[in-house]
Structure formats: structure tokens, C-alpha cells
Structure 1
Amino acid sequence: MEAFVSFGLCTLLIALISWYKTKSTNLRTVKGLLLAGKNNGYLIVASSLILTNLSANQFIGENESVYTNNMSVMAWGITSVLAMLLVSEYFLPIYFKGGMITTPDFLAHRYDEGTKRLVSIIFLLSYIVNLLPPVLYGGAVALTGMFRLPDLWGISYWQSIWIMVWLLGLVGSTYTILGGLRAITISDTLLGLGLLLLAIVLPVCALRYLGKGDIFAGLTLLFSKHTNHLNAIGTAHDAIPFSTIFTGMLLVNLYYWGIEQYIVQQTFAAKNLKEAQKGMALAALSKLLMPLLINLPGLIAVHLYTNMKNTASVFPLIAAETLPDALLGITIALIFGAAITTYNAGLHGSSTLFVMNLYLPYLNKRNKKPKEDELVRTARRFELFLSFVAMVTAPFILFVDSGFYTYLQRVAGLFSMPIFTIIIIGFVNRKVPAIAAKIGLLFFMLSYFACEYIFAVQIHYLHVLAILFSLTAFIMVIIGCYYPSKSIQITSANTTQHLVVPWKGRYIAAGALLILMLLIYIAFSPLGLAS
């Protein structure tokens, strides 16, 4: 009962503060609803980036991978620091100078409107298939495990997943539609502070539980037994082989932090480029601290539980057994909020893409000039539609055979890397025409689908992504040599100069972050804790 009370109070408090801070934002305009009025400072940008990135999927999936493999899965978070720094230095200036609202806007400038529409549709498909349903499912697994709902309500695990999926979906939809992006970013800041505290409290409680009341005994046990699980240098048999960090993983991380609409939209809402870059650097620092929260419970579970059948329940089980009831309720509220935040950002990114890149151009072609409130109304209706589809399909992820997190990343490659490839080629080569971009998209998607789901190529999927990236880029460049583009218009928007001035301290921050990244890898290697 105490856990339920603290969960309710914490969730209500965050909602009330978010409402109070957003009541002055005009949500009847596209800028107010979709871009938070472009008035966010670096603290809110950083919190939004981390909380949008951090969903129950990671709590569930990464701890499961640590339990079944080792710490190699932390590469997704730790090595993303390099990608975030590259995005901050090279991608964000292009976006801000172009005054862009969605990442496919660049494609319209660089290629043509047809490429922009095609990529927008692929974005939407990826959100419908591989973002919104998995976020709801991951949140449902976490809440079901921590509240122990099957035992509490006397229902099956399958039934409790359905109930939690619909609860998360309904709450998330309401939050997004009524509050807009500004409400999401404010709640992100509050949740970010809460998760920072949780990253300290949960390991302490779990280690005390492991050491039977003695934290140092728990630490000693953690670092002296099953040390193979402390190794972040994955082998070919692990979920994340070390070699993939330098091939497909780097490319996926660059796409995620620099092109993924629901992530990049958080930086578009910054006051200026300087605030966006500072926010990205602070978010990168937070990524280096994440193993304490989303990997350590999996390590502790190795010592507490043997031969778990439902390995996806590792994190909920650790939290439920080691935290006091009041803290468990707050933890559930934070996990609930993290799931809602990612779900909200996905809905918001989807409606932005649909309204600005598909619906509005359709109306313009018919010589219709829609009013602001019509566009806002259409965005909200589209979010409701997507939410319904996600709530219906999410529970069936329970029947996926492979690990939850690996499943997410494999499917994501089908949508993300083709888009990444044509955007990167657009950045570096001005001869490649629009037809080459369309051919590249189709070639990459069909080839990857064939490699992963038809022929079952015996190469890690991250290496497959890197190989197909190189092949697609080569094909596009060759087409550009024989049929070069004759009209490229990459224009700059009428942006006030001070809005695109970069942050002067970015190089010092980048150096410090890269050194910390290397030290963490040395610590979780045979040279360090895994010796």
C-alpha cells in the first residue's frame, strides 16, 4: 500500500508542476504545441534528451542482457558520447542555420520534396512498428514486475501486461495532447533529477541486500565472483561484440542522436545553437553515469538468481526485493514517467512529421491555406490514432523469441540506417541527385531485410549495417558521377545571427567526456574489474 501511495503522490506532483510551468504556453499554434515555443535552455534540453532516450525498454532490455551475457551491452550508452559530440559539432549547426523543424526538411533542400515525403513515411512506419509499441510493452513489464500485479490481482501475466499497456497509452496520450512539447520537457527535467537520485539509491539498497545488510560485503561479492559478467569487451558470442562498436554501432548512434526526429526535436526547441550544444554535452555526461542505473541491477541479479526463465523481469524483481516500499513507489513513478516521456516524444515526433511534411504539403497542393488551429487539431487526432494502434499491438511483443533489446535494435536498422545513409551522403557530396537517394533507400531496406530475415546471413547485424551503408553510399556516388544533380539549393533561413553562434567551451567539454568514456571501458575490461 505504501508503494502505491508514494507512486501516486510522486506522479501527481510532477504533473502539477508541469501544468503550472506550461499554462502560459500557447498550445493553439504549431510552434507552441510542437516546438515548446523554442524557448528551452540547456538544462531542459539535456533533461529532455536523456529522458526521451531513457525508457523502460532500457531498464528491462539492458539488465536482461547483462544477466544473460555481460556488460558489453553498455556500449550502446557509453559509446554514444562520441556520436553526440559529432552531432553537436556538425549536424546541429546545419539544422539551426536552415531553421529546420523536422530532420527531413534537410532532404527537401538537398534532394527534392519527393525524397522528404518518402523519408517522412519511413520515419512514421518505424515509430508505428518499433518505437511506440515497444515503449508501452517495456513500461508494462516493469510496472507488472515491481507491483507484482499477477499475484496482487489474481490474474495472469498476459492479462496484467494488457492492462498496463493501456494504462500507459491512455495516460501518455492525454499528457501529450493536452500539454504539448513544453509539458514533456518540463516533466523531463523533474524526472531527470529523480532518476539521478535513483541511480545512487538503487545500487546502495541492492548492494546492501546482496551483502545481507553490509554494503561493502555486497561490493566484495560483486567484484570477486562471476567476474566474467563485469567484462564490457564483448566476444563474437555476446550480444555486442567489441568490434561492432567501430562499425554499425557508431553509425546507429550517429543516426539516433543526429537524425531521429523525436530525439532531435528536443534540440530544435532550444533558444539557440549554443544552448543546444551545451544541452547535448550535459546529456552525454549523463550517458556515462547510466550504467549505475540500467546495468548494475543486472550484475547484482547474477548473484541473487540462477536460471531465471523470464529474464526480462530482472530489473523489476531487483527493485521490488531490495527497495523499501516508499522508495519502490517513487521508483515506479520514475519508471512510469520515463516510459511516458519516450512515448510522448514518439507521438509528438510522429504528429510533427505528419502535419508538417505530409498533411500541410497536401493542402498547399490543393491551394488551401489551413489555419493554425486546424493543423493543431489534425496533429492531436493523428496522435490519438497512433496511440490506439500502439496499445493494440504492444502486448504481442511478449512472444518475441530473441532478447527484447536485441530485437529492438535489429528491427530499428531496417528503418534508421537507410535514412542515415542518404542524409550523410547529402551532407558530404553535392553531386548526388534525388533519384540516387530514392534508389539508395530502397536498396538498403530490401538488402537488410533479405540478410536478416530471409537468408539469415551469419554476420552480426551491426556489421551487416556497416557493409550495406558502404555499398549504398558507393552506389549513390556512382549515380552522382554519371547523372550529377544540376540544381542544389541548400539555403539558410533568415535566422538571427546570435541564434547560430556555437558554444565556445565545446572542445574542452568534448575532450573531458572522451577521456571519461575510455576510463569507464578500461574499468570494465580484463585490465580492470573483469580481471
Structure 2
Amino acid sequence: MNWVGFVGFTALVAVIAWLGTRRHQVGATAEGYFLAGRSLGPLFIAGSLMLTNLSTEHLIGLNGDAFQHTIAVTAWETTAALAMVLTALVFLPLYLRNGLTTIPEFLDRRFDSTTRVIMSALFLLSYAVAILPVVLLFGASGMESLFDVSGTLGISEGQARWLLVWGIGGLGSLYAIFGGLRAIAISDTINGVGFLLASLMIPVLALMAVGDGDMLAGLETVYTEEKPKFDITGNEPGSFLPFGVLFTGMIVNQVFFWCVNQSILQRALGARSLAAGQQGVLLAALFKLLGPLVVVLPGVIAWHLFKGELQREDYLQAYPMLVAEVLPPALAGLFAAVMVGAVLSTFNSVLNSAATLFSHGIWRPLFQRDASDRQMVASGRWCSIVLAIAAMVTAPRIDTSGSLYNYLQQINATFFGPMLAVILAALFTRRASALAAKTALVVGPVVFYMVNFAWREPIQAAVQSAFGLQEEIHFLHWLAVVFVFTVALITAISAWRPDTRSHAPAAPAPVDMTPWRMARPISALVVLATLATYILLAQ
């Protein structure tokens, strides 16, 4: 690997991030540290949104799933764009109008402080057991697969994995702990440009290789010879992601992830105005529509090239093999730096959100109600340190058999449905009670864990027998079922014990709330492009 390119690009990002934050005293105030002083513009918001979400778990995981199955897995990307439209038009104006720092903060105003603490704890738990360790594991595994770090350093693959996990995790922690959201947003944007260019380069080079220098001829060859792989509906027997889930659990998943998830929305909450926030979110949605070219198409090309030598169970090697096949050696160092940057961006962004949730949602209400800004920042930094160390210890121990991306989504689904139900009840109804919200936040995740993990086999067998089904119920269908159950639970408890608490009016919005005049036209364009993708690729 060209270490000059790797070190040079990584150092350049760090220097630019430092120059962009050194005059802002990010640790002096809580708002400056957690929300970049509400100063972020559209480009920083869009870049940070994309890199907080996209990382090696997408490049390696989703491309691996496309290698094993079909491009139906692109639903994780295309339907996300629709949810981002909802964020821009509906949710973001509500959040900015209320001057929120965290999403659970609204639950304190609407219900009580206990509800806020429970919601903050669930967010932190989902970050600790799923996102943070899996991101590090994919990053370490990806670097090992792409660049043979163990061979270069003369150590075992296990040792290389530990070394990479701690190296990437340690560097990412520095951004989150000392730089705050502004440093993260700046580094994310630079890494985002590099990530987009580098990741688009792989399918272009691969298609040129298939087409003997002609990219379009290569695409025609792959599409013609592997046409079943291009069925976006995913309706083949035993489908990995059947089309029906797009209308059940996929909706719940995407609305939660893009409309109410703290680790994503924190960038938009730091917008300097509503217009800037809408511009950033919708720009990211447009880039999201390019996602399948980066995180799905290479997996199909890898199937075309390597199906005779790479077995389905070795799906995680599909993307690394493709990169090794088509990437010029001179660009290997730069590509490695971009991949590490993508992992860093996701890791440090989630750490920063975790720190925000802990300091505002747990530390202040439970331990120090009169905490100063510096004490709030200090508590957030300690939370980041603890979670980072826990993730670095846990990541190398995760079982990599089966779909890791699917594993990540199933763990997330344990929390997403109930949390979304409570937040929607808080935002859009006045009848839901605090008792109902707290009960739902505790019972909902337990119910999903029982039906999808603890009692999975007997429940699946009973449902299949009762309805004469040949195939198992997909976990996304269970996510929708638990969401509906949680909504019913909130409704029933609220009717039994209605909320009699009076709610204080919100303070004036801290930023200009004039909407972007192009928000609706661009949103319509995103929706039409998403629908066109499914119409064109349906078989």
C-alpha cells in the first residue's frame, strides 16, 4: 500500500478540521461543543449526514449481500431518501422551532424527565451494542481484506484486527472528544467528497474491465448475463429482503433512522437556519440516490467476475476482491485513507451524539441539575471515552458468520419501533400520557426481543402453521407488528390514565425559521427519482 497517500490525506483532513475549529472554542459552551454553536451550513450538514451513515459496513456488508442475493438490498438506500424528505419538510421545522439539542429533550417537555432519561438510555444502549462496535469491526475487517495489513506487518489476522480496531477507534475518539460537532462536520465533509469519488471509481473501473475499456459495454454485459440479480423487488423464494417489507417495517426503520435518530439529526439540529438545514438534508437525499452505484452494484459485478471462485458464504470478501482486481496500486494508499475516514466519520459522529444524550438526558436530570456548560461538556467527554473503550473491546469478539449488516439492522429494530411510536405520540398528539410513554419504552423492546430473538423458532413455527405460510416472517414485518402494538399500548394506557399535566409554551426559535423556497420542488424530485428506480428495475 502507498503509505504516503494514506498518511497525507489523513493528516490533511485533521489539519483542516483543526483550522476550522481553533477559533470557535468548541469546549467553552455546551451549545458550541454539541451543536457547533448552531452555525452549520448546508454543505457541512449534507457531508456529515452522508458520512455518519455510510461507512465500510455499507461498502462491504451491502455489496456482500448483493453478491449473495440481489439488488433488492438497495432498499436500505433508496427508501432512506424518502424519509429524508419527511425530515426536511415535517420534522426539522418542529425540532428547530423548539430549539432542541436532543430528541429526548422534547419528551421532558411533553411528558416528564423520567421519560427523557429512559429514551436517552435506549439511544445509548443501541449505540453501545450495535452501531459503535459493528462500525469498528467492519472498518478493521475491510482494511485487512483490502490491504492485507497482517501480511504487511507480519502478524496474524486476529492481531491485525485488534490493532486496526484500536487504531481507528482511538483516532475517531480524538475528533469526538476534543473537537466537538464542528470538527466532526468539517472532517466528515472532506472525507465525504473523497469517499464519493473513491467509491464511485470502483464500479467504473470494474465495468471498464468487464467491457474491455468500455464502461457502458461492461454494464450491458453484466446486466444481460446476471439479469436475475437486478430484480429490485426481491420476490424470489426465500428472499433476503422481500418487496413487502417496504410497506411495513422498512417504513418504521427509515422514519426512525432519518427523522428522529439523534446520531443523524444532530447535524441538522446544528443548522444556522431552517433553510440551511433543509438544503443540507435534501442535498444528502439526492446523494443517497447514488448509493446503489456504490454499495450494491459492485457486489453484482463481483458476482459476475468471481462466482466461480468465491463461495456465497465468503460474501464479505466480494468487495475487497473487486477492489484488489481493479484498483491501480498507486491509488491504494489514498483509497485506504478514504475508507478509514468513512469509518472515523461514523464512529466519531455517533460518539458525539452519545455524549450529547448522556450529558443532557442523563447527567443533568439525574446527577447535576445546575451543571455549568463546562461540566456538561466534561460529562459528555467522559461518556465518549467509556463508550469508545467498550466498543474497541467488543468489536473484535463479534461473530462474523451470517450477514453483519442484517445483524446490525435487527439489533437496531429492537429499539426503533417502540421509540418511534413514543416520539410520534409526543410530537403529533396531545392525548398520550407520560405513563403510557414510559411503559411503551420498556415493554416494546422486550416484546421485539422475545419474538425475534429469545422465542424466535417457536413463534415462527406457530405463525407459519396458523396462516399456512411456507417461509419465515421477516424481521422487518415483526418490527412493524411491534410498532403497531406499541401504538395500541400507548393509546390504551392513555385512555385509562389520561395525562392531566399542563405544558409550557415553547421558547422562541433560536434560528431563522424561514423555509427554503426550493424545499418542496427538490423533495418532489427525490420522490419521483425513487419511484422511477423501482419502476425501471422491477422484474
TM-score between the two structures when normalised by the length of structure 1: 0.94
Cα distance in 2 for partners of 1:175, 1:313 equals: 30
Superposition map of 1:33-432 within 5 A: 33-235=33-235, 237-306=238-307, 307-308=310-311, 309-364=313-368, 369-397=370-398, 399-432=399-432
Shift of 1:217: 4.3
1:501 alignment partner, SS class: coil
> C-alpha distance in 1, partners of 2:429/2:215?
56
The 3 A distance-change label for structure 1 pair 316 and 370 is same
Of 369-378 and 441-450, the range deviating more from structure 2: 369-378
Cα distance, 1:69 vs structure 2: 0.4
* Corresponding position of 2:533: 520
Q: 1:225 & 1:17 partners in 2: Cα distance?
A: 46
Secondary structure of residue in 2 paired with 1:391? helix
Q: CA deviation at 1:385?
A: 1.2
For the Cα contact (< 8 Å) 2:61–2:405, is it kept in 1? yes
Aligned-pair CA distance for 1:216: 4.3
Instruction: Supply the AA of the counterpart residue of 1:304.
Output: L
Give the residue type in structure 2 aligned to 1:339: V
2:289 counterpart SS class: helix
Q: What letter matches 2:179 in structure 1?
A: G
Task: Provide the rounded CA distance (Å) in 2 between the counterparts of 1:490 and 1:140.
Answer: 48
Which string of whole-angstrom CA distances, capped at 9 and with x for unpartnered residues, describes residues 64-99 of structure 1? 110000001110110111111112222111111111
Q: 1:500 aligns with which of 509, 513, 530?
A: 513
The CA distance in 2 between the partners of 1:61 and 1:490, in whole Å, is: 46
- Compared CA separation, residues 200 and 393, structure 1 to 2 (3 A): closer
Separation in 2, partners of 1:105, 1:258: 15
Choose 297-306 or 67-76, whichever is displaced more. 297-306
Alpha-carbon deviations, 1:24-76, whole Å to 9, x = none?
A: 11122212211111101111111111111111111111001100000011101
Tell me if the contact between 2:63 and 2:318 (Cα under 8 Å) persists in the aligned partners: yes
Distance 1:166 1:511 in 2: 43
Aligned to 1:474: 488
* Structure 2 alignment gaps of length 5 or more: 461-471
Once the two structures are TM-superposed, the CA of residue 220 in structure 1 deviates from its matched residue by 3.0
- Percent identical pairs in the alignment equals 36
Alpha-carbon distance, 1:152 to partner = 2.4
Whether the 8 Å contact between 1:109 and 1:488 is mirrored in structure 2 is no
d(CA) in 2 for partners of 1:267, 1:156: 42
Equivalent residue letter for 2:170: L
Q: Is the 8 A contact 2:113 2:365 kept in 1?
A: no
Once the two structures are superposed, what CA deviation does each residue of 1:93-120 show, in whole Å capped at 9, x if it has no partner?
1111111100001111111111000111
CA, structure 1 residues 214+89, in 2 after alignment: closer, same or farther (shift >3 Å)? closer
- Cα deviations by residue, 1:302-356 (Å, 9 ceiling, x for unpaired): 0121243431122222112211123222221111111101100111011111111
Per-residue displacement from partner, 1:145-171 (whole Å, max 9, x unpaired)?
111123323433222211111111111
1:382 partner amino acid: C
Kindly indicate whether the alpha-carbon contact (under 8 Å) linking 1:41 and 1:275 is maintained by their aligned counterparts in 2: yes
- Aligned partner of 1:19 in structure 2 is 18
Q: Distance in 1 between matches of 2:315 and 2:152?
A: 21
Please report how far the alpha carbon of residue 490 of structure 1 lies from its aligned counterpart in structure 2 after TM superposition.
5.8
| Superimposed CA distance per residue, residues 377-432 of structure 1 (whole angstroms, 9 cap, x where no aligned partner) | 222222111111100000122x2432111111011111222111111122232112
Task: Work out the CA distance in 1 between the residues paired with 2:324 and 2:193.
Answer: 21
Distance 1:370 1:108, change over 3 A: closer
| Residue 467 of structure 2: aligned partner | none
Mark the CA change 1:517 to 1:356 in structure 2 (over 3 Å): closer, same or farther. same
CA distance in 2, matches of 1:264, 1:425: 19
Contact 2:191 2:342 in 1 (8 A): yes
The 2-side partners of 1:56 and 1:364 are apart by 38
Q: d(CA) in 1 for partners of 2:299 and 2:509?
A: 48
CA offset digits 1:210-247 (Å, max 9, x no partner): 34544344223211112111111112622211110111
Deviation larger for 177-186 or 356-365: 356-365
CA contact (8 A) 1:109 1:491 kept: no
Partners of 1:251 and 1:466 within 8 A in 2: yes
Q: How large is the RMSD of aligned CA atoms in angstroms?
A: 1.6
How many angstroms apart in 1 are the aligned matches of 2:160 and 2:174? 21
Q: Partners in 2 of 1:220 and 1:516 — Cα distance?
A: 22
- The answer to whether the 8 Å contact 2:89/2:520 transfers is no
Match among 446, 454, 464 for residue 478 of structure 2: 464
Contact kept, 8 Å, 1:49 with 1:280, in 2: the verdict is yes
Comparing 448-457 with 126-135, greater Cα deviation is found at: 448-457
Which residue is equivalent to 1:529?
A: none
* CA gap 1:425/1:213 in 2 versus in 1, 3 angstroms: same
Partner-residue secondary structure (3-state), 2:512: helix
- Alignment check: 8 A CA contact 2:71 2:297 kept: no
Q: Which amino acid aligns with 2:15?
A: L
Moved more, 161-170 or 186-195: 186-195
Greater displacement, 148-157 / 422-431: 148-157
Please tell me whether the aligned partners of residues 195 and 342 of structure 2 are also in contact (alpha carbons under 8 angstroms).
no
Tell me if structure 1 keeps the 8 A contact 2:118–2:441: no
Q: SS at 1:107's partner residue?
A: helix
1:510 aligned residue (514, 518, 523): 523
Does the aligned pair in 1 maintain the 2:85–2:282 contact within 8 Å? yes
Residue-by-residue CA offset, 1:128-153 (whole Å, 9 max, x unaligned): 10111001011111111111123323
Distance 1:371 1:484, change over 3 A: closer
